[in-house]
Chains A and B, each alone.
Chain A
Amino acid sequence: MSHADSSALAHQFDSLAQQKESATLGMWLFLCQEILFFGGLFVTYLLYRWRDPTAFAAGSHELDIVLGGFNTVVLIASSLTMAMAVHSAQTDKRRQLVGYLVATGALGIVFLVVKYFEYSAKWHHHLIPGAGFRFEGAVGGRAELFFSLYFAMTGMHALHMVVGVAVLAWILKRARAGEFGSHYYNPVECFGLYWHFVDIVWIFLFPLLYLIGRHYHGGA
């Protein structure tokens, strides 16, 4: 066993296998509670959309499908690069691992930059809920609730992305130092689980927020 192996075993565990299984189980449990967290938002969304579908369609129509679609592709690609990163760690390919991690982080940052542009466009069009909200069209003020949920849901998601990118930077640092290999790759794997989860949340957000307004044509 190399130097990296013995130092990787934490004191409370008896074996690397026990440590790996524990960390993985811990990450899955954490993701379960994340489902409940976003679940509250989704339930709120479902209730209000059921109550006023026209207002939701009108609000959704204002979102930029191109940017949203682009972001969806970006995130799915980042999940691919993340999965490749995990595979690289498992097969002792350090340089590939670093490359894929960098790609994943870069794609994550692209996502966030696009989000920034989307949000500032909303600002310019007076679509931020609150005192300055103005919605032209038959639906009028009823659209504000849609945008409240839009910002709450994509904002929470973006926050999770930011945390993800920060943790990714830390994993990257360790990867560059040669910590990971076929003997020890669990941190990369667990982080991959988190990254895939955040991706899946977006896969739900995109159609629910962006796609329901496709056939909306200006009625109330």
Chain B
Amino acid sequence: MPSKLPFFPEQASSFAGDVDALTLWLIGMSAFFTLLIAGLVVIFALRFRRRSPDQVGTKFDESPLLEITWTVIPLLIVLFTFAWGAKVYFRLYRAPAGAAEFHVTGKQWMWKTQHPTGQREINELHLPVGEPAKLLLTSEDVIHSFFIPAFRVKTDVVPGRFTTMWFTPTRTGRYHLFCTEYCGTEHSRMIGWVTVQEPEAYQDWLASVPVPATLRERGEQVFARLGCAECHGGTGGRGPALEGIAGREVELAAGGRVRADENYLRESIVDPGAKVVAGFLPLMPSFRGQVDEEEIGALISYLKSLPEPTTAAAAAASESVIR
């Protein structure tokens, strides 16, 4: 629906209403204080005009009560604003489990998007209305930023790591997509369109795009091509078994624990010596240069699809074994 606020883009995501309500509060509160101050300044300046050249003003003693009043009231207002803003912010960054996961790669000066079912787009993203979508984003070169004004969402896209965002589109239509972190010559042309469709139209569109492989399938192909199973397959391998690895807490050889999220899995592929799992030796070579960002994303999709180990032996294989 069109935003209640004039000059705001239409509301096309589940967040937009919340962000706009917050904005309305900010505008109202600010307009009040601006008019108050501007009004008082003008009124006082005119009402208390100097009437003779030597006239002086009336001095007032300092008033702690007044100072406290106009300290505490603004403080309460900003704290309230902070709390509301933080609440909205947490919702923006906590993707629900089970959201369809899309991969986005930014590079000078285009956006490459991939659907979980494998369809790829350039500077476009088709989405089904009403379904939560989570995006996993990275950059191949400089810092970019992925911005859909109608959804009220944005995240920087950084080389060397994944960032995430999520939303549920609530309205069909075509919406602007912008790069909004200055990234060089064609920064203002690194733009595109997000197209939200009814579910059937979306399925039709999916079917019309040739798919070499889903993200998961692609990841499985890369896994095989690189021979990962030589060390990570089955029990007693040189590397920890990877069933159920995604999201699990892992103990590190150097001490401490880490959650095997997307960024840890990515690091383990390009910089495997940095955080070796406890009980394993630092034998894994780096695959930097042998996989590009999209393939890394695909591998992670594949790893996420691996089920938890079902037997005690398989579970033991992912525990520490010194070789």
* A contacts, CB < 8 Å to B: 51-55, 138-140, 142, 219-220
Contact = CB atoms under 8 A, between A and B. Distances in A.
Interface of B: 254, 271, 273-274, 276, 282, 286
B161 to A, nearest CB: 12
Contacts of B282: 54, 138, 219-220
A142 B271 contact: yes
Nearest to B271: A142
B273 A142 contact: yes
A46 to B, nearest CB: 16
Contacts of B286: 140
Nearest to B286: A140
A51 B273 CA distance: 11
13 contacts: A51-B274, A53-B254, A54-B254, A54-B282, A55-B273, A55-B274, A140-B286, A142-B271, A142-B273, A219-B282, A220-B273, A220-B276, A220-B282
Which applies to chain B's interface (DSSP): helix, strand, loop or mixed? loop
A53 B254 CA distance: 8
Given A219-B282, A220-B282, A139 B254 contact: no
A139 B286 CA distance: 11
A118 B276 CA distance: 32
A139 B244 CA distance: 28
A142 B254 CA distance: 16
Nearest to A58: B273
B149 to A, nearest CB: 34
Contact of A138 (B254, B271, B273): B273
A139 B274 CA distance: 9
A219 B253 CA distance: 11
Contacts of A53: 254
A11 to B, nearest CB: 37
Contacts of B271: 142
Given A55-B273, A220-B282, 5 more contacts: A53-B254, A138-B273, A138-B282, A142-B273, A142-B274
A51 to B, nearest CB: 7
Nearest to A141: B286
A219 B283 CA distance: 10
Contacts of B254: 53-54
B124 to A, nearest CB: 36
B232 to A, nearest CB: 17
Contacts of A138: 273, 282
Nearest to A139: B273
A138 B273 CA distance: 8
Contacts of A54: 254, 273-274, 282
Contacts of A142: 271, 273-274
A140 B286 CA distance: 10
Contacts of B273: 54-55, 138-140, 142, 220
A55 to B, nearest CB: 8
Contacts of A219: 282
Nearest to B274: A52
Nearest to B283: A220
B51 to A, nearest CB: 43
Nearest to B272: A220
A55 B271 CA distance: 11
Nearest to B285: A140
A53 B274 CA distance: 8
Contacts of A139: 273
Most buried by B among A53, A142, A220: A220
A139 to B, nearest CB: 7
B280 to A, nearest CB: 11
Per CB-CB distance, the 3 closest pairs between chain A and chain B, nearest first, are A220-B282, A220-B273, A52-B274
A219 B254 CA distance: 11
A142 B267 CA distance: 13
A196 to B, nearest CB: 37
Nearest to B288: A141
A140 B282 CA distance: 12
B202 to A, nearest CB: 41
B267 to A, nearest CB: 10
Contacts of B274: 51-52, 54-55, 142
